[in-house]
Amino acid sequence: MSASVRQKSEGNDLDSVHEDKTPNAALEMQAMAELAEAEAAEAEALAASARARARAVRLRRQVELAEASESAEAQTAPAGSELQDNATPGTMPDALSWYRRWLRRPRLSSLAAILTIAVITSSLAATVYMVMERHDASQQRQRTTEFAAAARQGVMALTSLDCNNAKRDVQRILDNSTGSFKADMQKMADDFAKAVEESKVVEQGAVESVAVDLDSMTRDSAVVLVASKSDVTNAAGAKQDPREFRLIVTVVRDGGQLKMSKVQFVP
């Protein structure tokens, strides 16, 4: 890292800022909790589907009993027919009108079939919705892990500089960069490497915590907050006070690989 960047970082009173560092364990615990909630929701959806099917079976049985009752009543129809033969001519139109209306009336079996289909369809829709919700949650956890790992790798490259291998370390930063950040680094790569060589120090970076901003995260980009420190050793082998950094890193997908496109140092 250039002398001007280090001097600016050292001038900031980092100890005055108290920010919560989200440990990696917290991310894992959150992911496990979300997975448990998704599994519980899926189990509830399956239970609802089973209840719906049981209700459909009860409705079908009720309809069958009702049809059996109608069939038993229909067996008395011949006696009624004999009485109808002796009826006066004026009563025939009324009987025919009633019979036509009876034919147009939907049968109980048809209504039961419609109700059964509606109940099963709604239960299946609920199950599909819960499965899709679980799938989306799983994808979000996977993307969060990927963006966090990419930001961690980029910051490690940015804060690990060896005066004896300055060009190699600068190239590693470029390999983990894209967009405007890479363009700026390419313009100052030679000067940056020279400044690292002249510093006569070795910096070894370490990422202490990473937090992905879920509101900003999409399929191909995310803003990641990173807390890092760098242990410094001079040419004589003496260790200096570690340097602490807080960075806001924008990570984007570039050719199938996640890289840093913007880096902002914050106090």
Q: Give the start-end residues of each E strand in the chain.
A: 161-162, 201-212, 221-234, 243-254, 257-266
Torsion sign across C-alpha atoms 196, 198, 204, 206: negative
Beta strands of 17-167 (E only): which ranges? 161-162
Domains in the chain: boundaries? 139-266
Model pLDDT, residue 218: 94
Give the model's pLDDT for residue 61: 73
The confidence score (pLDDT) of residue 189 equals 93
Give the pLDDT of residue 194: 93
DSSP summary character for residue 249: E
Q: What is the reported pLDDT for 165?
A: 93
Encode 189-202: b = buried (16+ Cβ within 10 Å), e = exposed. Answer: beebbebbeebebb
Domain with residues 139-266, CATH architecture: Roll (3.10)
How far apart (Å, rounded) are the C-alpha atoms in residues 239 and 224?
A: 30
Token pair, residue 39, equals 């599994």
Nearest C-alpha neighbor of 55 from the set 122, 106, 126, 129 = 122
pLDDT tens-digit series, residues 53-66: 777 777 777 766 76
Question: Which residues in the chain land under pLDDT 50?
Answer: 1-22, 77-90
CA 68, CA 22: separation in Å to the nearest integer? 68
Q: What is the pLDDT of residues 131-142, one digit of tens each?
A: 666 666 788 899
- Longest Cα–Cα distance of the chain, Å, equals 127
Backbone φ, ψ for residue 251 (5° rounding): -110, 130
* Predicted TM-score of the model (pTM): 0.53
The DSSP secondary-structure symbol of 106 reads P
Please give the pLDDT value at position 5.
39
Q: Which two tokens stand for residue 228?
A: 């890092």
Query: Residues near 77 by Cβ (< 8 Å), separated by ≥ 6?
Result: none
Q: How far is CA 1 from CA 28, 79, 120, 170, in A?
A: 32, 106, 64, 9
Terminal alpha carbon distance of the chain: 17
**Rounded Cα distance, 242 and 207, in Å:** 13
Identify the three-state secondary structure at position 69.
Answer: helix
